[in-house]
Amino acid sequence: MNKNLQPVLLTIMGKEYKIACAPDEQDDLINSAKQLDEKMRKMRDSGKVSGADRIAVMAALNLAHELEMMKNQNAMLNQTLNECLVKMGHKIENVLESK
């Protein structure tokens, strides 16, 4: 076990979880746990999903889907940015060649 890991106490749906985490990642872990707790509570309160296991799986699927959509969006933005940079590079080359 990494000596730099420190225990972080998280509460999700009223249950406590102690997770070992690097100090520089603790804030992100805590925020992730809060987001998961919020999603799980919303699902439970909606009455559409019952049982902690099913709620956890559905929340995880929703978060995984959101992550996948963000990855796809990021890839499209990177492609668009790269295309713009290539066009800008061509324009700069044309300007420099014409002088």
Q: What is the 3-state secondary structure (H, E, C) of the chain?
A: CCCCCEEEEEEECCEEEEEEECHHHHHHHHHHHHHHHHHHHHHHHHCCCCCHHHHHHHHHHHHHHHHHHHHHHHHHHHHHHHHHHHHHHHHHHHHHHCC
| Global confidence as pTM | 0.70
Residue 52 belongs to a domain: yes
CATH number at residue 17: 3.30.160.880
State yes or no: pLDDT of 2 exceeds 70.
no
Range of the domain at 59: 6-97
Instruction: Read off the pLDDT band of 56 (50, 70, 90).
Output: very high
Residue 1 belongs to a domain: no
Structurally, the chain folds into a number of domains equal to 1
Write out pLDDT tens, residues 9-54.
999 999 999 999 999 999 999 999 999 999 999 999 998 888 989 9
